[in-house]
């Protein structure tokens, strides 16, 4: 087993609708939002955590390849792969995202090798901030009010205030892919990104939050967009 290359995929994440990835702030503030977005403590600007991307893309790939029930809803792991070692889709997911092995799967862990993907936090695009925010005096985030409606009385109940990064905001996207001899995993990575475009990122996707698209994707400086758009997530042979 030999590491032959570490490839770098870069691009831009463009928000098509407001994005909420919570900061986990449990402090109550009078007049504040109920759920602020995560922000860089040094710049005060919102960012997209790499962990949010990794978790959502892995989940979508597991659903796409029918791996969810095998793990009882938990992330697909070496335990499930050990019971079906010929499952090529499951093997690809474990190679890309890793798993939680125990001693019983030592031989399988050795044959799989190290986790291939690393997702990096995505900062707000400085170019977008200069062109759109600074020049037009825009706010980067908005506070959206929500409530539930009493079906009988028709009245609003339980008001809450959710902070979102505004639609149109752009973030610098980076991931790295370790390539071991014999690997052919790029299409699976691109499939995961395409599935994310079709679904949503962050919280409240069913209410229209977190619609994104990828732009200007490059692999080690080579344009990836044509190959990316050629991926058909739900063709009959995938």
List Cβ neighbours of 154 (8 Å cut-off, separation of 6 or more): none
Q: What is the mean pLDDT of the chain?
A: 89
Question: CA-CA distance, 42 to 183, in Å (whole number)?
Answer: 39
Asked whether residue 115 is domain-assigned, the answer is yes
- Per-residue confidence at 32, pLDDT binned at 50, 70, 90? very low
* Packing angle of the helix pair 88-97, 186-198 (nearest 10 deg): 90
Asked whether residue 155 is domain-assigned, the answer is yes
Average pLDDT over residues 61-90: 91
Question: CA-CA distance, 179 to 185, in Å (whole number)?
Answer: 8
Q: Which domain holds residue 151?
A: 3-230
* pLDDT given for residue 33 in this prediction: 55
* pLDDT given for residue 1 in this prediction: 81
Report the percent of the chain where pLDDT is more than 70.
92
Average pLDDT over residues 167-186: 95
Asked whether residue 55 is domain-assigned, the answer is yes
Asked whether residue 124 is domain-assigned, the answer is yes
Asked whether residue 237 is domain-assigned, the answer is no
Report the percent of the chain where pLDDT is more than 90.
63
Q: Is the pLDDT of residue 29 over 60?
A: no
Asked whether residue 236 is domain-assigned, the answer is no
Pairing of strands 122-123, 212-219: unpaired
**Total count of domains within the chain:** 1
Asked whether residue 182 is domain-assigned, the answer is yes
């Amino acid at each position: 087993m030999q590491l032959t290359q570490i490839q770098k995929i870069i691009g831009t994440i463009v928000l098509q609708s407001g994005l909420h990835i919570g900061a986990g702030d449990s402090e109550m503030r009078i007049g504040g939002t109920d759920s602020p977005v995560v922000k860089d403590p040094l710049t005060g600007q919102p960012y997209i955590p790499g962990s949010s991307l990794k978790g959502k893309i892995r989940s979508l790939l597991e659903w796409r390849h029918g791996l969810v029930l095998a793990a009882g809803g938990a992330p697909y792991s070496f335990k499930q792969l050990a019971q079906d070692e010929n499952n090529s889709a499951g093997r690809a997911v474990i190679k890309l995202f890793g798993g939680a092995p125990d001693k019983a799967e030592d031989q399988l862990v050795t044959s799989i090798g190290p986790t291939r993907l690393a997702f990096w936090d995505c900062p707000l695009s400085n170019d977008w901030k200069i062109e759109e925010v600074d020049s037009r005096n825009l706010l980067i985030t908005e506070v959206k009010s929500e409530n539930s409606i009493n079906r009988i009385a028709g009245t609003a109940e339980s008001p809450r205030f959710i902070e979102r990064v505004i639609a149109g905001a752009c973030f610098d996207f980076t991931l790295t892919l370790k390539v071991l001899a014999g690997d052919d995993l790029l299409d699976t990575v691109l499939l995961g990104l395409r599935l994310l475009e079709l679904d949503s990122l962050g919280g409240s996707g069913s209410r229209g939050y977190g619609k994104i698209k990828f732009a200007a994707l490059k692999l080690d400086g080579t344009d990836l967009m044509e190959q990316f758009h050629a991926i058909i997530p739900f063709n009959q042979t995938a």
